[in-house]
């Protein structure tokens, strides 16, 4: 397996990122850039190419999320992010402000 970084854009004025096709890769971490406006990321997945998005929950029924701020890296727990997603996106707790998009870098292990 090799490490790959996927750019995921949160458009200016939006709280939802674009989707990323991860096709079962193991998600291992995420970087935020200095323009990232949020402090929390919720995780959503799609099994139909991004037409419909679903919240991701753990086995206790709690939504899976990432607490992260601008210019940080978060390690993603392997039991929660181990190769189950086809398409994934992230939703911040606040919209990106004033014409400034943010680029997240999702680190995955892929074949």
Q: What is the pLDDT of residues 31-59, one digit of tens each?
A: 999 999 888 899 999 989 899 999 988 88
* Residue 99, pLDDT above cutoff 90: no
Chain position carrying tokens 């292990």 = 109
The model scores a pTM over 0.95: no
Cβ–Cβ < 8 Å for 11, 96? yes
Cα gap 58→38, rounded to integer Å: 22
Report all structural domains of the chain as residue ranges with CATH numbers, in order of start.
2-110 (2.60.120.260)
Mean pLDDT of the chain: 88
- Radius of gyration, CA atoms only, the chain: 13
Report CA torsion sign: 83, 89, 91, 97.
Answer: positive
Query: What pairing do the DSSP bridges indicate for beta strands 40-46 and 65-67?
Result: antiparallel
Residue 42 per-residue DSSP state: E
């Amino acid at each position: 397996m090799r490490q790959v970084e996927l750019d995921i854009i949160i458009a200016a004025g939006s709280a939802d990122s674009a989707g990323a096709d991860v096709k079962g890769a193991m998600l291992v971490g995420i970087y935020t850039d200095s323009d990232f406006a949020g402090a929390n990321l919720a995780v959503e997945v799609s099994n139909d190419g991004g037409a419909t998005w679903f919240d991701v929950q753990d086995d206790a029924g709690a939504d899976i999320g990432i607490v992260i701020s601008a210019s940080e890296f978060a390690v993603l727990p392997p039991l929660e992010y181990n190769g189950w997603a086809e398409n994934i996106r992230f939703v911040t707790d606040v919209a990106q402000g004033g014409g400034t998009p943010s680029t997240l870098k999702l680190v995955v292990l892929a074949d």
